[in-house]
Structure 1
Amino acid sequence: MRILVADDDKTLCENIAKILNVDLYAVDTASSGNEATDLIDYYTYDLLVLDWMMPGALGIEVCQYARGKGFDGGILILTAKDATENIIEGLDAGADDYMVKPFKMEELRARVRAILRRKNKIVEEEIIVGSLKLNKNKRTVYIDNFEVNLTKNEFLLLEYLIENKGQILTHEQVIEYVWGIDDNANTNTLAALVRLVRKKIDVEEEPSFIQSLRGLGYKLRDN
């Protein structure tokens, strides 16, 4: 799952991204409302975490913009405004939840999980491909009913492939999903990650779950 965190407080933005990375989410950050709308135009997100007061477009305006484009993922508004009318204004703009600053990071994690559970309850939570089973909400992977321990990037790689099983994903698409747009990862970095995941999930005498297509990218075996 991919999350956008937009806040002009760089330290807070980075801390939120770090705490969400613990739960194996892919996280992009923005420091202004205009940067946030640009990223929303470019990427598909499951959740937006938006500060109300940002330079450029306000968080509530970004919320309205996203809903106007048909965004049906979760939206969490962060703000120092705690008056009832402000909360109502945020929710009426299309937000799913509202957190008043300052807040505890563990509470934010819980709010994020709750929003994603509600938004994804109609989405296939558990995907099975042969002996491989991935649970998107619990962030777990099993092979023949034995749990496989994956790092954050390993899980994101497998999640992206399994969500698009049978489809070819280019090297660039996978790199951007796993590492984001500001990282220096390249095709060699990706190839090394693929090798690590294969060692953990592939079954002896069976074709690899992750298929390489020379010059194109990767796809997950669809049977």
Structure 2
Amino acid sequence: MRARSVAQNILIVDDESSLCWVLGQFFSGAGYRVDSAGALDEALDLMTTGRYDLVISDLRLSGTLSEEGLMLADFVRRYTPQTRVVLLTAFATQELTDRAQALGVDLVLSKPQPLPTLAEHVSRLLAAAAV
């Protein structure tokens, strides 16, 4: 995976702090600037004060039936429509994918996702956004 010469900004949102850390280390090592949030309110605060090229968010941030990842995606599309959104979830279904895409999510991926595969998706989305 190659980051562009100008570092792109990624926001990682997951209630599992270890996953935020691993993804943060991985993408930072690839030349991206990375912030992370463990909850919806924290992610919304970061979205309003920073600029992100891509958001990687878990679907469920606060409970087994919550869908804060979709709320975040809706916010991103309304306020920063150029930002790409990847939704990671252990609960991927076609119905969820359809709902997510209707809110402007670029990609719904099953969790866990191999880092090289996730990196390839991120590179592809950011390259397409730059065109």
Q: Are the aligned partners of 1:79 and 1:101 in contact in 2 as well (CA < 8 Å)?
A: yes
- In the alignment, the residues of structure 2 paired with residue 25 and residue 70 of structure 1 have an alpha-carbon distance, to the nearest angstrom, of 19
- Give the partner amino acid of 1:17: G
Q: 1:44 aligns with which of 51, 56, 61?
A: 51
- In the alignment, the residues of structure 1 paired with residue 67 and residue 110 of structure 2 have an alpha-carbon distance, to the nearest angstrom, of 19
Deviates more, 1:70-79 or 1:59-68: 70-79
Deviation at 1:20, TM superposition (A): 0.6
Matched, 1:24 2:49: no
Q: Are the aligned partners of 1:34 and 1:57 in contact in 2 as well (CA < 8 Å)?
A: no
Q: 2:12 aligns with which of 5, 9, 15?
A: 5
Matched, 1:116 2:126: yes
- Give the partner amino acid of 1:113: S
Deviation at 1:30, TM superposition (A): 0.2
Residue 73 of structure 2: aligned partner: 63
Identity of aligned residues (%): 26
Q: 1:94 aligns with which of 104, 112, 118?
A: 104
Q: Are the aligned partners of 1:32 and 1:57 in contact in 2 as well (CA < 8 Å)?
A: no
- Give the partner amino acid of 1:51: D
SS of corresponding position for 2:85: strand
Q: Report the TM-score when normalising by structure 2.
A: 0.87
What RMSD over aligned residues (CA atoms) do the two structures have, in Å? 1.3
- Give the partner amino acid of 2:125: I
Q: Report the TM-score when normalising by structure 1.
A: 0.52
Select the structure that is richer in helix: 2
Runs of 4+ in structure 1 over 2 Å off? none
Deviation at 1:11, TM superposition (A): 0.6
- In the alignment, the residues of structure 1 paired with residue 52 and residue 24 of structure 2 have an alpha-carbon distance, to the nearest angstrom, of 14
- Give the partner amino acid of 2:109: M
Q: List alignment gaps of at least 5 residues for structure 2.
A: 1-7
Deviation at 1:57, TM superposition (A): 7.1
Matched, 1:73 2:80: no
- In the alignment, the residues of structure 2 paired with residue 40 and residue 68 of structure 1 have an alpha-carbon distance, to the nearest angstrom, of 12
- In the alignment, the residues of structure 1 paired with residue 73 and residue 31 of structure 2 have an alpha-carbon distance, to the nearest angstrom, of 24
Q: Are the aligned partners of 1:3 and 1:47 in contact in 2 as well (CA < 8 Å)?
A: yes
Q: List alignment gaps of at least 5 residues for structure 1.
A: 122-223
- In the alignment, the residues of structure 2 paired with residue 57 and residue 82 of structure 1 have an alpha-carbon distance, to the nearest angstrom, of 12
Which is greater in Rg? 1
